[in-house]
Amino acid sequence: MNPTNLAEVIQYLEKKIEVAAKMGLTLDGTAKLTSILRVRADTFRVEFGNDPPVSVAPMQVRLKQGAQPVRAQPRRYSPTDRDFLDRHTRALIENGLIFKNHRSRWASAPRIVRKKEQDIDPNADPRMTIDTRSVNERTVPMPWPMPVLDVVIGELEGAKFFLCWIGSEAIGNCLCTRTPRSSTPL
């Protein structure tokens, strides 16, 4: 699918709204979500696209003293998960988001995560994450402003409007910048 085909994006979003309704979204919530998604439909992608990369400084990962490379052992996957992994990695390669590096001394295994949506929509794909625990053990922790729940709740005090977004099929880049952005209630 061409990721710029707006009609297909809208059709896809409408299916996702139906799933959200089946999972308990109220009629009022469904109407609001539909309105928001129709206004913002041009910001979504159903599949990976050959979009230009975002211009940010590359993240620098530092190794701990004496750290040795680690390669995860191959894992067994069900035939369904194997098919998903093949399709997903092929799409990532075709769109230049990853590339094969047979010489790499570092390798982490993919991890398949089921979505609640799959209980309602058997055709929904799971989510692929990467198990980086063994790599993380060998790298210097990077300071990152993790939110403190008490602080977040304090910031919400007195707010009248809130936005809740569940991006079950969001595809894009997660940006790490040097200056953290704060989020505040509407």
> In the predicted model, is pLDDT for residue 176 greater than 60?
no
Q: At 67, is the pLDDT very low, low, confident or very high (cuts 50, 70, 90)?
A: very high
Same domain, 70 and 133: yes
* Alpha-carbon gap, residue 2 to 9, rounded angstroms: 10
Q: Give the range of the structural domain holding residue 112, as residue numbers without chain letter.
A: 65-141
Per-residue pLDDT tens for 6-53? 888 888 888 888 888 888 889 998 999 888 888 888 777 777 777 776
* Alpha-carbon gap, residue 108 to 63, rounded angstroms: 16
Whether pTM > 0.85 for this model: the answer is no
* pLDDT at site 160: 65
Q: Domain with 100 in it: what CATH number? A: 3.10.10.10
Same domain, 118 and 177: no
Same domain, 133 and 87: yes
Instruction: Please give the sequence-ordered ranges of beta strands (E in DSSP) within the chain, or none if there are none.
Output: 109-113, 127-131
Number of domain units in the chain: 2
Per-residue pLDDT tens for 149-159? 777 777 767 76
